[in-house]
Amino acid sequence: MKKLILILVFLICSRSAKAQDYKTHTVKKGETIESIAKQYLVTAFDLYALNPDAKKSFGENKILIIPTSRVKNDPIPETKKEPVGFKTHKVRRKETLYSISKKYSVEIEDIKKYNTSLYSENLRKGDRIQIPKFKTTVHKVSLNNTVKKYKVLPKEGKWRVAYKFGITVPDLEALNPDLSEVLQPGQEINVPNIDNTEEKAVEEQFQYYTILKSEGYMALNRKLGVTQEQLEKLNPELKDGGLKLGMVLKVPADAKTVSVVADLKNTDLSKKLVNLKQKKIALMLPYRLNRLDVDSVKATKKAMKKDAILSVSLDFYAGALMAIDSAKQLGVSTYLKVFDTQNNARQITKILDDNDFSDYDAVIGPLLSKNLDIVASELKKNNIPVLSPLTMPTQLYENVFQTVPSDDLLEKTIMNFVKSDSLPKHIVVIADSKHKAVSDRLLGQFPSAKQLFSRKDKEGEEAYFIYQNDLANAFKPGKNIVFLETDNEGFASNVISVVNGMAIKNIEIILMTTNKNKAFEGREISNYHLSNLKFHYPSPNRTTDISTSNNSFVRAYRRQYNVSPNKYAVRGFDLTLDLLLRLASKDDLFEASIDTLETEYVENKFRYTKKLFGGYYNEAVYVVKYDDLTIVEAK
């Protein structure tokens, strides 16, 4: 009976196909949907539309219905390089394949092709290598992927062109292997040879989003706030083809990347290592060794005490070295090259000119955002990940990883933390006039909150204090939360002292802030009061009591350096170990940075989310609190 039904279905499909001039194809061994689509000048989407069961059942001898191709296969001009001779070059000191390729205007791969020893050996001073000379010829060829030439219009990027021609961004890059990250107006590129009437227009009243690896509808809803039904309505092709890596989706104008601070189960990447080839990492730090008298130990020690940037760099480097050693014990080896940026833009440009970074897995640094922008901008053409270790990048390029959570994210985290507590509570927001905006945002999230501002003097200037009477009737029996928003130490001291004195037996007062700055760490601030008020705040890192910690990294650091690691050494360890383990868990850092993966180490955790049109940012934030004069994570 089942066979009879299958025969009838096939006959009906055959008649339908014949009526519409369709063909059938019997799948041969080794064939894929993609290879069959190319053979008949159609797309995989077209095949799935007529053969929906092929998604679940595809193999040898399966019969597929093939639609008539909608694309033309006209010959197009193609440029070919043909070698006409060679020039012998003697390698000089400090020369690299990159600098030689620039000197002779040839590709590094072309140099290796005619000097095959360079595939397995490094370039050495005194080597004589052959530099090919080429002549360029133009042939008219007919390609099986049926492409045509297209001139890029002003403001068009990869995603716009991909969307216009109904392909994914990786498909566009496959058609144009040498495509740069930024398209230039008038630039000619290969695109599918579809009819002009079938090109999709980019509508400015919508936003557009490019699908990342492993993203499903739940992840998109979490990131964009858009449901599957909404996406399918705007992108009907999703109903049959589903989501694909690099697909460009039309999304509502009000869709935006939202920071969701829901807890995720931390992933132990040490148990998911599959890519154990050696990792090539560059570390760019502003040691400024050119300013040191390295022959004088005394002078060097003095400089290290006075130069905060040098001290931070050395501490971070020490932590990074220990992370590399820890990764090695797990089977992940690392080639590390350290560059002294001298905190100088010219030196950074020289480093980029003198070195080929195209085969690096990642670059950590530079420390300062303006210098990191220079590196990221240059390396984005090769899509090399650049990690900002301690500061916020000025521009979040596609290849940049902002490892420090933003102030905006910290603020959202503490707000959501308070919201997650379903028990009754009363909220008071105290701020100076400089922080009125954040005070208003808090009031927007907690409409029943009482809002207070610092008093002013007779001249109407900010006086940075409040009276206890200002808080009369503000607190009620039960839990009371006070948000204090200021960067003035005197005002912080005044408010903390006043509020602490109002905490009585049946009135619990918890002090919080959206931004713990230096005002909460000054000499006038009583840690006893902060502890008594269970002071809560959002933090990029979980502060560990290093003096009593039994962590293996802390123990190893003490053995090696005879001191406990500070926060910069811990940061260097956590960030570098996370980078190496992510690289060892996938093919590259981009694949290993999906927003459902969260990792945690000594004091830092990492969960990366990609901006709609930009790079990656860390959205993993701690909420910590004072508890008996120690700082612990608040649950």
Q: Is the pLDDT of residue 314 over 60?
A: yes
Is 3.10.350.10 the CATH number for 76-141? Answer: yes
pLDDT digits (tens, 9 = 90+) for 475-511: 988 999 999 999 999 999 999 999 998 888 788 999 9
For residues 386-393, average pLDDT = 94
For residues 86-98, average pLDDT = 88
pLDDT digits (tens, 9 = 90+) for 13-52: 444 433 344 678 888 888 888 778 777 777 776 777 678 7
The mean of the pLDDT values for the chain is: 83
Q: Which of 249, 241, 243 is nearest to 33 (CA)?
A: 241
Cα–Cα dist 258/220, whole Å: 10
pLDDT digits (tens, 9 = 90+) for 243-286: 877 788 888 877 754 444 444 567 889 999 999 999 999 999 99
* Range in 5-9, 52-56, 569-573, 613-617 with the lowest mean pLDDT: 5-9
pLDDT score for 48? 74
Q: Is the pLDDT of residue 351 over 80?
A: yes
Q: Is the pLDDT of residue 344 over 60?
A: yes
pLDDT score for 269? 92
Q: Which of 502, 376, 357, 318 is nearest to 428 (CA)?
A: 502
For residues 140-163, average pLDDT = 73
Q: How many CA atoms lie within 13 A of 593 on its CB side?
A: 26
Domain with CATH 3.40.1010.20 in the chain: 408-539
Domain with CATH 3.40.50.2300 in the chain: 269-405+549-625
For residues 347-357, average pLDDT = 94
Q: Please state, for a pLDDT cut of 90, what percent of the chain lies above it.
A: 40
Classify 7 as helix, strand or coil: helix
pLDDT score for 297? 53
Residue environment code for 351-372, b if the CB has 16+ CB neighbours within 10 A, otherwise e:
bbeebbbeebbbbbbbbbbebb
Of the candidate CATH numbers 1.10.10.10, 3.30.70.2750, 3.40.50.1370, 3.40.1010.20, the domain formed by 408-539 belongs to 3.40.1010.20
pLDDT score for 119? 76
For residues 109-123, average pLDDT = 84
Q: Is the pLDDT of residue 405 over 80?
A: yes
Q: Is the pLDDT of residue 293 over 60?
A: no
Cα–Cα dist 116/121, whole Å: 9
Cα–Cα dist 541/404, whole Å: 9
Contacts of residue 149, Cβ cutoff 8 Å, sequence gap at least 6: 76, 77, 188, 189, 190, 191
Residue 299: pLDDT band with limits 50, 70, 90: low
Looking at domain 2-66, its CATH superfamily turns out to be: LysM domain (3.10.350.10)
pLDDT score for 551? 82
Domain covering 269-405+549-625, topology: Rossmann fold (3.40.50)
pLDDT digits (tens, 9 = 90+) for 446-460: 999 999 999 998 888
Q: Which of 605, 582, 619, 553 is nearest to 320 (CA)?
A: 553
Which has more pLDDT, 199 or 592?
A: 592
pLDDT score for 388? 96
Which has more pLDDT, 201 or 515?
A: 515
Which has more pLDDT, 205 or 519?
A: 519
Dihedral sign (CA 247, 248, 253, 255): positive
Q: CA 394, 396, 399 angle in degrees (round to 5)?
A: 135
The tokens describing 320, both together, are 């990074």
Cα–Cα dist 269/580, whole Å: 10
Domain with CATH 3.10.350.10 in the chain: 2-66, 76-141
Residue 77: pLDDT band with limits 50, 70, 90: low
Contact 80, 67 (CB under 8 A): no
Q: Cα-flanking dihedrals φ and ψ of residue 350, to 5°? A: -65, -40
The H-or-E segment that residue 459 falls in is none
Which has more pLDDT, 179 or 567?
A: 567
Residue 6 exposed, middle or buried by CB count within 10 Å (0-12, 13-18, 19+): exposed
Contacts of residue 240, Cβ cutoff 8 Å, sequence gap at least 6: 45, 48, 49, 52
Helical axes 345-354 vs 369-379, angle rounded to 10°: 20
Q: Is the pLDDT of residue 2 over 50?
A: no
pLDDT score for 463? 93
Contact 108, 98 (CB under 8 A): yes
